[in-house]
Chain A
Amino acid sequence: MMKRIGLLTSDTKMMTVSIWREEENDGRFEDYEVPARENQTVLDVVAYVQQHIDPTLSYRFACRVGMCGSCAMMVNGAPRWTCRTHVSKVVTDERLEVGPLRNLPVIKDLATDMDPFFEKWVAAEAVFHPSATRDDPMAAITPDDPMRIAASEAIECINCAVCYAACDVVENNPDYFGPAALNRAWSLVNDSRDAGQDARLAAVGSNGGCHNCHSQQGCVQYCPNELNPTLSIAGLKRETTKAMFRWSR
């Protein structure tokens, strides 16, 4: 079914966008004709469809500047942060296909249920356990501290779940915590203020933990902030191995 708005001039160049429409587990791609503007993001296109063609289209966004991690979707089969993805960079044969993030249940259309994603952060102990109170002095951590440097490499995650959607292990293993949760756990392993290291290493060494990673690096390929969760997971494998020999003594 082709839907088109009548307010455009006849010489406006158009393009077709296929958008996944789903309600109550009944889903299919639907085609919409939208202006092919020289400079527009995938999120702009989705917003155009919702604002001018079909107001019932559901999707999620907030900041529009690549900070909040809300607007990730599958774009022509690859997970992308749609607010920072230019259509011209990803469009193929004048076609654009936008779907909900892979590996997550769909609530409606392009909006996925992020609960499983964040529940796994908690399961991986990717949660800060304070070792001091607000009455204690600030912890002094120098910028050249090796642990601080290791944490810095993993710290710019915006929780967009692009890596989670890119991961084939997540697809095949529903228990697997996924790259984002384990990357966050790794940044906390390197946080000298944290008091929950034993519980964290036990969690990331459990059934859904870091040892399920096949190092395929889909997460590295698609992370919009160019983080390296595979490297973080390798760090966790190393630390859990060391901890196992410590615990067995």
Chain B
Amino acid sequence: MLDIRLYMAQRLSALIMVPLVIGHIAVMIYAVQGGLTVDEILSRTQGSFAWFLFYGSFVVAVSVHGAIGLRVISFEWLGLKGRSLTILSWIVFAGLLGLGGRAVFAVTSAGGGL
């Protein structure tokens, strides 16, 4: 079920997520402590390539990691296999990527996004 490619994809995406999760939590604490408003936050993130890179790579890593993890659970616990398992994995990946990408775009695009 899990060959070395999927195993490595999941481990490497976890590796990428570790500093990003810490950064994300740090940003949340900072924003709450200082009492930043939504406008103040958006004024810093919108149009910022650095924040786009930060949360963009976060979303890609989460999509890969979560899709493979749910793939294993669906196989072992729900008995899904073959094509239905592959389709489910891609749907989870695309869903996470789509939802996360939409949020990243909204927060970091120069015009305010969607």
Q: Is B1 an interface residue (CB 8 A)?
A: yes
Contacts A241-B8, A244-B8 given: A175-B3 contact, CB under 8 Å?
no
- Nearest chain B CB to A219 CB, angstrom units: 17
In the assembly, what is the distance between CA of A143 and CA of B2, in Å?
36
**A-B Cβ contacts below 8 A, count:** 32
Chain B count of residues within 8 A CB distance of the other chain: 10
Q: Is A133 an interface residue (CB 8 A)?
A: no
Indicate if the CB atoms of B4 and A212 lie closer than 8 Å.
Answer: no
From A173, A208, A211, B7 is in contact (CB under 8 Å) with A211
Q: Is A187 an interface residue (CB 8 A)?
A: no
Indicate if the CB atoms of B4 and A205 lie closer than 8 Å.
Answer: yes
From A172, A175, A176, A241, B4 is in contact (CB under 8 Å) with A241
Q: Is A206 an interface residue (CB 8 A)?
A: yes
Indicate if the CB atoms of B4 and A173 lie closer than 8 Å.
Answer: no
Indicate if the CB atoms of A211 and B4 lie closer than 8 Å.
Answer: yes
Chain A minimum-CB-distance residue to B77: A172
> What are the residues of chain A within 8 A of B75 when measuring CB–CB?
172-173
Indicate if the CB atoms of A207 and B76 lie closer than 8 Å.
Answer: no
Chain A count of residues within 8 A CB distance of the other chain: 16
In the assembly, what is the distance between CA of A209 and CA of B75, in Å?
15
Chain B minimum-CB-distance residue to A205: B4
- Nearest chain B CB to A116 CB, angstrom units: 16
In the assembly, what is the distance between CA of A176 and CA of B3, in Å?
11
> What are the residues of chain B within 8 A of A176 when measuring CB–CB?
1
Indicate if the CB atoms of B4 and A244 lie closer than 8 Å.
Answer: yes
In the assembly, what is the distance between CA of A205 and CA of B7, in Å?
9
Indicate if the CB atoms of B1 and A212 lie closer than 8 Å.
Answer: yes
Within 8 A of B (CB), among A207-249: 207-209, 211-212, 237, 240-241, 244
Contacts A173-B75, A173-B76 given: A240-B4 contact, CB under 8 Å?
yes
> What are the residues of chain A within 8 A of B3 when measuring CB–CB?
205-207, 209, 211
> What are the residues of chain A within 8 A of B76 when measuring CB–CB?
169, 172-173
Within 8 A of A (CB), among B1-31: 1-4, 6-8
- Nearest chain A CB to B81 CB, angstrom units: 9
Chain B minimum-CB-distance residue to A207: B3
12 further interface pairs, Cβ-Cβ under 8 Å (given A172-B76, A205-B3, A211-B2) = A169-B76, A172-B77, A173-B75, A173-B76, A207-B3, A209-B4, A211-B3, A211-B4, A240-B4, A241-B4, A244-B4, A244-B8
Q: Which residues of A are in contact with B by a Cβ distance under 8 Å? A: 169, 172-173, 175-176, 205-209, 211-212, 237, 240-241, 244
Q: Can you list 29 contacts pairing A with B, beta carbon distance less than 8 Å?
A: A169-B76, A172-B75, A172-B77, A173-B1, A173-B75, A173-B76, A175-B1, A176-B1, A205-B3, A205-B4, A206-B3, A206-B4, A207-B2, A207-B3, A208-B1, A209-B3, A209-B4, A211-B2, A211-B3, A211-B4, A211-B6, A211-B7, A212-B1, A212-B2, A237-B7, A240-B4, A241-B4, A241-B8, A244-B4
